[in-house]
Structure 1
Amino acid sequence: MTDTPCKITVTRRLPAEIELRLADLFDVTLCQDDRPMSPEDLIAAARDSDVIASTLGDRLNAEFFASAGDRLKLVANFGAGVDHIDLKAAISHGVTVTNTPSVLAEDAADMAMALILAVPRRLVEGVKALEAGKFTGWSPTWMLGHSVRGKKLGIIGLGRVGQAVARRARAFGLSVHYHSRNRINPHVENELEATYWESLDQMLARVDIVSVNCPHTPATYHLLSARRLKLLHPDAFVVNVSRSEIIDEAALAEMIEKGQLAGAGLDVTNPSPTVSRRLMRLPNVVMLPHMASATRESRLDMGERMLINIKMFIDGHKPPDRVIPEFL
């Protein structure tokens, strides 16, 4: 970087402590209204910035990098997922991309486990029944759900979040099965008492609950396709705290409507209003507004990680969380 002050544009509101530190350290333009920037405003900001501190809602595609000009050198993403950034385009235009991995694994796993419990035990249905005045007293046969103890949990993607889910699942008496691009270290596998399946199809045919914890990449788009969802038995549940694109949610909705699946817990959902409304109407689907990492602790940790990446980059060092497409 040059000796001139580094100019940073932050695209959304961040925790006040993080914004204060950014303002103390850099020449920073903060977001005031906490609304996503338009593509035109993003490009204008990039032309006047050395660093864009981006978030999930920013579509930094090939057109963005082609139009950003020569000043932009770093996209410091506030978040672990980078599927909204065209990494190849960034690299071709000399722009480094960083993210904030690891810090949200535990909170995301907490939410996955909450959904793993909430859907089979019909927690949201119970709350709605109380609110609607439908509960007239205890009955031996009313609002029966399913136990999770003794069930088989199939985790898709046994990275940081997947392993944290596995540890929680074992405490609730679930047996852990997993499918990942690469088999994990045998010591970790033994610690988790996890069974590896090279074939995703074979794992899906044998588990009771599926937890999606892999990143969204071109290779994982609709990884849980209509064909694969049909491999699950009718009493199986699907939980997703990763990205909605990994599941064919139209097929998921249809199968739950027909009783071919027992339900789903979704922290992320298809942006299509038609698909979302179909899922939302189903009593055995718990839908959340992308809350898995929404804790104060995670957001502060993400901000600190982002600050470290920016400071290291500006000081002429390789930032610790540089995103390399081949490693995703």
Structure 2
Amino acid sequence: MKGSTPTVYLASPVFREIADNPRVSVKFKFMINKVWSNLNTVARVVTAESRFPSLAEMKKAIEENEADFIGCHIGHRVPEEIVSIASIKGVATSNVGWNHIHLHPGVLVTNTPGVLAGTTADYTISLILSNLRNIVGLNNYLWEGKWGPDERWDLDRHITKNTENLTYGILGLGEIGREVVKRVAPWGIHIAYHDIFQSLEMEEKYPNLTYYEDVEQLFKISDIVSLHIPLDESTHHFVGERLLRLMRPRALLVNTARGGIIDTAALIRLLKTKEISIHLAFDVFEEEPIPPATLQAFREILSERPDLRFIFTPHTATGDADTRARMSATMLSNLNAMVHSTSVRDIKELNLIPPL
């Protein structure tokens, strides 16, 4: 049996070890080590031996140590059988998304908003520009030795499209969506957005930003559609056959949010049958890592339709060293706050899912 000191179970040693990464700035190394020290002062910290313990290993460790709190990230699934363990009082994730955690009555859940919005927005824009200008394809073209002596520069060779005169559609004007707007508004392009709430403040600040109450209209008029909504029961497969069919020919669909927002099966089917003709730039997938069969299906589409451009990256939009360090530090800080708390007032500053 444990004593009166609360117990925290960390699903990975990475939350402290990231401070040792040479790419992390001294400021954030210090931040992690400080909050780590504070947490170990007020709680007994039990850390998983591996970075990705199995569900059985997590459950055994939590039950044997009668853990009160869990620290995790999106790579750790925390299902009902974990959060329903009697000793569990709260779960802190280092991500802003929480769809890997089962929401259980009486168990607090915290995430890390405000930490990764700018980094994710930068990555989103990088994917857009890389796809529009076919940078990945042209890079591969050169390195594969296809730029031969008989191929000289000419006016109509390797033509792509820049952002001028395009309509950029944003689905979800939360933290990340707003950061995207801040970055692309100076380009002077028309930015359309759909959200459950209209933001008159953002529209006043950015005159080229327009609200579309009808999400179907957003998909119809946009040359680029990027997704910035959370994944939950209401948004699962939100972008399905109906919205996909509305997209303009050669429009670009960008997803740095969560893979389950898109109905992958419908997307593959419509591309295979040539009922839609859209480019893709995805950093997230419905199942991660992306299953070989799914990847092969996209390969086959590209082989039959070389006019389309697909850029896929392995869920790394937040992969800036300092951003990842801040994510860890914020999660550890949230655990500190929950360990210290004796009433709701003590955790009112935390971002709770759902809010109290």
TM-score in terms of structure 1 length: 0.90
Structure 1 residue 19 displacement after superposition: 6.3
Q: Write the distance in 2 (CA, Å) between the matches of 1:99 and 1:3.
A: 28
Aligned with residue 47 of structure 2, among 27, 30, 35: 30
**Hey, what does 1:7 align to over in structure 2?**
7
Aligned with residue 187 of structure 1, among 194, 198, 201: 201
**Hey, what does 2:168 align to over in structure 1?**
153
Q: Write the distance in 1 (CA, Å) between the matches of 2:266 and 2:355.
A: 31
- Aligned length in residues: 318
**Hey, what does 2:135 align to over in structure 1?**
123
Where do residues 37-116 of structure 1 align in structure 2 (5 Å cutoff)?
Answer: 37-47=53-63, 48=65, 49-66=67-84, 68=85, 70-87=86-103, 89=104, 92=105, 94-116=106-128
1:318–1:168 distance in 2 versus 1, CA, 3 Å: same
**Hey, what does 1:277 align to over in structure 2?**
296
Structure 1 residue 199 displacement after superposition: 0.8
SS for the counterpart of 1:29 is: strand
Where do residues 16-27 of structure 1 align in structure 2 (5 Å cutoff)?
Answer: 16=19, 17=29, 18=32, 21-22=35-36, 25-26=39-40, 27=44
Q: Give the aligned residue type for 1:261.
A: S
SS for the counterpart of 1:222 is: coil
Aligned with residue 333 of structure 2, among 281, 285, 308: 308
Q: Write the distance in 2 (CA, Å) between the matches of 1:182 and 1:276.
A: 36
Q: Write the distance in 1 (CA, Å) between the matches of 2:171 and 2:292.
A: 26
Q: Write the distance in 1 (CA, Å) between the matches of 2:155 and 2:34.
A: 56
**1:233 paired to 2:258:** no
Structure 1 residue 46 displacement after superposition: 2.4
Q: Give the aligned residue type for 1:183.
A: Q
Q: Write the distance in 2 (CA, Å) between the matches of 1:325 and 1:24.
A: 27
Partner deviation per Cα, 1:286-305 (whole Å, 9 max, x = no partner):
00011111111111211222
Larger Rg: 1 or 2?
Answer: 2
Q: Write the distance in 1 (CA, Å) between the matches of 2:277 and 2:182.
A: 25
Gaps of 5+ in 1: none
CA contact (8 A) 1:80 1:100 kept: yes
Q: Which moved more, 1:127-136 or 1:258-267?
A: 258-267
Q: Write the distance in 1 (CA, Å) between the matches of 2:163 and 2:333.
A: 41
Partner deviation per Cα, 1:185-228 (whole Å, 9 max, x = no partner):
x1222213311111100111111100001111111111110121
TM-score in terms of structure 2 length: 0.83
Gaps of 5+ in 2: 20-28
Q: Which moved more, 1:283-292 or 1:264-273?
A: 264-273
1:312–1:176 distance in 2 versus 1, CA, 3 Å: same
**1:216 paired to 2:235:** no
SS for the counterpart of 2:119 is: helix
What fraction of aligned residue pairs are identical, expressed as a percent?
29
Q: Write the distance in 2 (CA, Å) between the matches of 1:31 and 1:171.
A: 46
Q: Write the distance in 2 (CA, Å) between the matches of 1:54 and 1:85.
A: 9
CA contact (8 A) 1:148 1:173 kept: no
Structure 1 residue 24 displacement after superposition: 5.4
CA contact (8 A) 1:96 1:322 kept: no
1:320–1:45 distance in 2 versus 1, CA, 3 Å: farther
CA contact (8 A) 2:166 2:189 kept: yes
**Hey, what does 1:144 align to over in structure 2?**
159
CA contact (8 A) 2:71 2:332 kept: no
CA contact (8 A) 1:308 1:319 kept: no
User: Higher relative contact order by CA 8 Å / sep ≥ 6: 1 or 2?
Assistant: 2
